[in-house]
Amino acid sequence: MEKSKYGMPPPKTRREFEHNLFLLAEETHRITESGDDDLFRNFLWATYPHIKNIKIHPNGRLNFLTVDEQARLQANMKKWMND
């Protein structure tokens, strides 16, 4: 994904969006395994309420209707900041 001079670009495909959400899931796992209490408390306050309701279809695809705006923004920001 090419960096935009106007800020974070939205994902172009469903595959990119799902990839971004799975990056957020990996970050969640890293935070819970880190043992850093402050980082974990911040995660529980800022991120967990938005990702706890995300559902997956039986075929393994994410149900976009269950992804709220905050989770979408955090996932896209993870990808954008890693580039």
Classify residue 24 by burial, with Cβ atoms within 10 Å: 0-12, 13-18, 19+.
buried
Q: What is the pLDDT of residues 54-81, one digit of tens each?
A: 999 999 899 999 999 999 999 998 888 8
Q: What are phi and psi of 56, to 5 degrees?
A: -120, 135
Q: What is the pLDDT of residues 4-43, one digit of tens each?
A: 677 788 899 999 999 999 999 999 999 999 999 999 999 9
Q: Which residue has the higher pLDDT, 2 or 16?
A: 16
CB atoms within 10 A of CB 43: 18
Q: Which pLDDT value is given to residue 16?
A: 94
